[in-house]
Structure 1
Amino acid sequence: MFRVRRKILSSFILFLIGIFVFQSCIYDFYRKEFASDKKKNYELLILALLGLLPNPNQKLFGFAPGFSRNLSDSQFVTADYFPKTGKKKLVLIHGWNPAERDSDPVTNDEKKIQNIKNTFSNGLIHFQEGRGSATSDFDLYLYTYRTSNSILVNGRQFHSTLRSNFSDSDQVYIIAHSMGGLVTRVALSPETGSLPFVRLVVTLASPQFGSPFATPSFLNSNPFLNELGSYLVGTQGGSELAYTNQGAGQPPLSGAENLVLDTLNQSYLSSGLNGKFVSFAGVMSGCNVGQTAYYNIGCNILNGAGFTQSDGIVPINSARLGNLSYKQINIADCDHSMMAFQTISPDDVKSLNLFTQVITEIRNSPF
């Protein structure tokens, strides 16, 4: 057993070395791509922090369905210019992107759209092809933001964006993957302000009680993992994904704490707002069913630490909000990326069925 675990850990370390080099190359590329605009970008960020301009690193797009699976950037229309109809609204918000940092220059629209596609391209294809009759019943919007910033900052900005683009007569349903679920919880919290038009939030593998892989005490078990973890989650936003021992049904993890999530979750308990949430959790029945190798390895590591059910990143109790949400749904044999409909092929039955189930939950909700 010890040899098997050592082999798994060695494989994980070798794989993470590749990821580290790859992500470093992406990070350097982004810095070079926008280097000429640094001075202008910093000025924009300062004005945004002062509340004089919208944050240039976040944006809401409307999605115009097309006919090709090769999605065109022209299908993503700035929300201000997206035609308003009487349909209900879906808003998709993505999760954490480790390649960007707070200090990086502002991304242009092309890169913002690519960030959305990286998470939701299959979901967009399902929407435009009429899966679950979604196209006939809903208008689709997509929100992107810089994930290295605090979820508190991003949540308030998401609130402002929703408030300025929708009215109280609209019916808005948010579909949030991973970190996007935490940003949404901040946006809807009593401390941020009321958004009565948001009828329901569907979270897909959101670490609502955090993830061990963003937790220093968990990463410190190996010097390399600690160094890599510092790179990947060594930002304010990344650190706020850390695991917390506080929360209904939480298995304890030595040294784990997350005061941001604790405060946020306590606020939700007091206000009853958890009743607006449906929580989807990926459950890998075996640690070989993920479509990406590092989720399989992550599943094994979490298993060895006592988290026997996870999507390779987020333990089941965290994704299900300790069963405190309006409804909790397990999705079998889906890794963390697959929980955003991202399978290798958009025709994969797991991606198609998950999308249909999410739309069905929204359509059949009492809100």
Structure 2
Amino acid sequence: MKKILFLCLFLSFCNTHDIKNKNDLSSILLWLIKDQFNHELFKYNEDPLMRTTNSTWQFTPASTSNSTSKTKVILIHGWDYTERSSDLPSSFDKKIAQITSTWSNALDYYNRDISGSRTSFDFYTFTYRTSDSISKNGTRLAEKLNSVFTQNDKVIVIASSMGGLVTRYAMYDPKNTGDVIDFVVTLGTPHYGSPFASSAYQVSSSTLAEIISFLTNTDGGRGLSHTNNGNGQTTIPNAVNSDLDSLNANTSRDSRFYPYVGDLSSDCNAAKTSAIFVTGCSVLKTGSPAFPATDGIVPVNSAKMADKVSVSQITTKTGFDHLMLTFKVPNNASLSESFFTEVITKIKTF
């Protein structure tokens, strides 16, 4: 915010002195506004009527003033392929829509105190511009968490897909001076990338390859690309993700991570949330090279953090596709709620 105020004053000065590059300076101001306002940490307020549809009033910016003594659970969504860094700053409604598109079921279960979730925890949500680089969003997350919480708070992150990488970057970011994150549950996070985000991966359908290339053509999308480095990683010729390699070289906080892994290896048709994951699973199984065990997007070896965590920290969900890991199972509410209960039961032991 101080940066924006300073630049506003500077632009005013430039206007007074008829500087010719005012358009450039205005562009810089817009960039700074986007940098400050595309992400937010919200505290989620339960609905006393326990309605299943989340309302915008239930999301208030997190601050030290609305923090309690309860354990904090931070929900962090994954990648939004429709976003571009050139988009206008995200409005409040856009932020809430991005959160609820991933976490609507989880927030409903929290409202209803399923498995004592509301009794035991305060829920928070973090949203961000997913087209920006993952490391940059990690810095933003670190700054937000350190401005609201201290090491006296118990903070648990539940992160979907890209959100798990954002969390890992945050934990190793130089600005993470408070180091407030105690435990992290990742849901289908591509800790070693995904073939579909890698330009080096050639699939049998050139049309599908072109679509994937378009969708991942952002800093955030490219940050999800496959790396050949890591125990158990399948080699894709010329595939490189040096950012992930640098991140994975860090080990000091690995013990805090508990990956959940979707596995469709026995039947691609087990995917329930979208035909995309049935197709993705089939393409990866028959591609060159082949990835026989995935959740339809993320290979099992990538989602389980290869050998970075102990086997006891990993939970494999057979028959779960990528989105089922966010507590969404169409036409099977009991399975969705059961999985939520499973995760809540686990984090109660942390």
Which of the five TM-score ranges fits, normalised by the shorter chain?
Answer: 0.7 to 0.9
Aligned partner of 1:105 in structure 2 is 88
User: Post-superposition shift, 1:220?
Assistant: 6.3
Q: C-alpha displacement at 1:153, in angstroms?
A: 0.5
Contact 1:219 1:229 in 2 (8 A): no
Give the superposition deviation at 1:138.
Answer: 0.4
Which of these residues, 44, 47, 60, is aligned with residue 63 of structure 1?
44
Structure 1 pair 337–82 and aligned structure 2 pair: CA distance change class (3 A): farther
Query: Which residue number corresponds to residue 295 of structure 2?
Result: 311
Residue identity matched to 1:330:
T
Write out aligned runs for 1:179-218 (5 A).
Answer: 179-189=162-172, 191-218=174-201
Map of 1:74 onto structure 2: 57
Change (3 A) 1:75 1:40: farther
Residue equivalent to 1:358: 343
Q: How does 1:1-367 map to 2 (within 5 A)?
A: 43-46=29-32, 55-66=36-47, 67-80=50-63, 83-189=66-172, 191-219=174-202, 222-266=205-249, 268-269=250-251, 272-284=252-264, 285-291=266-272, 292-305=274-287, 306-326=290-310, 327-345=313-331, 348-365=333-350
Q: In structure 2, how many angstroms separate the alpha carbons of the residues matched to 1:349 and 1:244?
A: 37
* 1:344–1:40 CA distance, 2 compared to 1 (3 A): farther
Give the letter aligned to residue 256 of structure 2: K
User: C-alpha separation between the residues in 2 aligned to 1:256 and 1:300?
Assistant: 21
- Counterparts of 2:170 and 2:178, CA distance in 1: 8
Given that 1:213 and 1:219 are in contact with CA atoms closer than 8 Å, whether structure 2 keeps it comes out as no
In structure 1, distance between residues paired with 2:112 and 2:169: 32
TM-score, normalised to structure 1's length? 0.82
Identity of aligned residues (%): 36
Unaligned runs of 5+ in 1: 1-38, 50-54
Match for residue 5 of structure 2? none
C-alpha distance in 2 between matches for 1:203 and 1:122: 17
What's the CA shift string for 1:1-50, capped at 9, x where partnerless? Answer: xxxxxxxxxxxxxxxxxxxxxxxxxxxxxxxxxxxxxx98973432565x
Q: CA–CA distance in 1 between the matches of 2:63 and 2:30?
A: 20
Count of residues in correspondence between the two structures: 318
Offset of 1:290 from its aligned partner?
Answer: 1.1
Q: TM-score if structure 2 supplies the norm length? A: 0.86
Alpha-carbon shift at residue 273 of structure 1 (Å): 1.1
Q: Which residue of 1 aligns with 2:6?
A: none
**Does the CA-based 8 Å contact 1:156-1:192 persist in structure 2?**
yes
SS state at 1:281 partner: strand
CA contact (8 A) 2:40 2:128 kept: yes
Measure, in 1, the Cα distance between the counterparts of 2:152 and 2:30.
33
Q: How far is 1:192 from its partner?
A: 4.5
Secondary structure of the residue aligned to 1:143 is strand
Secondary structure at the aligned position of 2:132 is classed as: coil
Q: What displacement does 1:83 show?
A: 2.4
Gaps of 5+ in 2: 1-24
Structure with higher helix content: 1
